[in-house]
Chains A and B, each alone.
Chain A
């Protein structure tokens, strides 16, 4: 309760308040009942393994393996699976087969397959390849923006506006990402007002949802709370998602904090695919399996079958020749 001015603190006696305003007890008790149901009943999982996950794996995965992964994920109950990225293969060779992947997958009804489109060229290629939803990637850090996509935040917003306007004409929904929402590998601490500013711009430009990314996983429930508190003043909570990296093991408590604040969309990657490019050998994306285990254990519905996700994770890990990062998958695979 550090935000309360000292002038007010001496008045903060619950007993005194109730004595002065007896009708308040009922109001506060009703509020308490409301806050006892403070978790969303349903959480939408946005599966980013095939794109964010595989993009950050050392091994380049053959097209048919990517297609197989996405097809397996399509049968798990996931409703959103980020399929690929229409970025130049010069920059991201792992995603060079974007058109073949998008055209090769079996699209399940009720599942959406957004793709990344950093600019108009990428957007046009994506539409030509059959994309029905796209995503654009902003940053809350000036330095990260310059190093990652070679332009300032303002310049990137102009590029996205072009994409969003073109998408509007074709009725293609656009999702916005804000990276470095809780910290930047170059600038260090990122102030919540900056994150709110970028999120608001992207939302007002026309993104239907803004995914706030803890790109290097340095966030904790403390910084997550402060950041969301600020962003939620400018973007409705229903339009927010969290994209937590598990580099410091903080992803699940950070997601829990976000849920407590009303966020009901969570990004994650099957098997925790995708290391952190800023901390060699460290983990990156939080595992979908571990998120599902937590949500289901809290009685929150997701529509996703955990065992089927574990199977998909095992399959891709075999293909990559690596162990899963999911603790749930590790434990279930080895229970005596």
Chain B
């Protein structure tokens, strides 16, 4: 029985780093290759040694698919391809391929800052890895090999994020990666067609949450920034290079324009130009509004947002600064934070999650006295705000996607066990499908019932038409024909065509049966009795008495002979073709009951 096997190496009942192995009709695919930013050693990467016990990865895996550029989905890729030694194809969308190296470089810098880091990839490795990547377009069916094909669908979430359909023959699975079912400032909502996969592997970050409208969060964010700036304070927004930063930039830019605000907004490390470049390049991946206005004005050419210079941090007066890295790990964002933390007029807004081991984590957990280098204590007087702008589907959105794709089974990843449990029940109740939530290292095996497509010959169809039976979608009907397997596909043809195509001669198959009848009369008379009996019973059929003394009903032939040992018994030889099997057996059973008494 064909089966689909899924083993998460990461993202099984957690949101650490995604890495899911799928085996479908003998093809092995790795979905995402993420990194966990909370570790400083090899534990940050999935343990790839579990993929094959002894064999080489390249021989085992048919391809790797990356859903989007966030590091928890692609961060381990250069390690996997350049250090662990995977040398096969890697697929991602065009924007992901372009942006991935920027984020990987960004993170590589953080690890260089953390001295003593070993086993981490170099710039050259990132490039070599990216050169192995095959970029795909949305809705383009890509043939990985003769049997395996993949197709990308729009996922929202971040620029270039995609869901992937993986198909081998008639079996298929869809992996959502991270997705968002509601459009935001710069991206549209995820969409997939009714592809009815055997399995839908979906993220479930907000499995139990119905998120408030993003508008509220945006209003809140703007209000806080505005208030701080009005009272002369400075606002620090630590971000990662690309993604959420651009969304917030658009938000502030529009607000500044509308309110005619004068306080400067800065963006560190020259990323505005870069972002500008990529969003321009991949404008088709943004939402409709941006695409429309792009003709008149590029949304990413900001009027109010300028490049940041280190010296600006000491300038008096209000300002807003976007600085990297996003968790106040080190570098510029941390340096600015140190300068501004002591003033209660200032504010830091953390727009995303922070792992343990970062200053971001500390201030979000309410710690206000931080130890700094050189045994100094930094007292945080500035306001600390947390506002998650992460763009994931909420419970409603996930259900909506399941409805849209109509899968046979659902498997939850990228979420917390407790929340998954809740959503699992909901999905099973509402859609009557099985829902799974394997932990990391656990394998889910699904048996599939593959549909095998069969072609039908035109001749056969025409013959049916000639019988006056026009096709009707609402009334399926039975058709007879010969199924032939040729050139790797199945076709239903007429038996004549099958014989012709296969170069075979036709065999005639006749069934024969002996029926003993007690009758002392001569054979001819017995035959006559049979003839008249059948004539009276089988009124709808043609019953003939042939000159050679036999009786014929359609193709069925009946002859009578005397029994060699018992002259009082006649043996009726009944013979019929395969086509008249039904009538033949009916006739035999009829004759076995004996003949009616002849009127004397």
Q: A and B from one assembly?
A: no
Interface residues of A (CB under 8 A from B): none
Interface residues of B (CB under 8 A from A): none
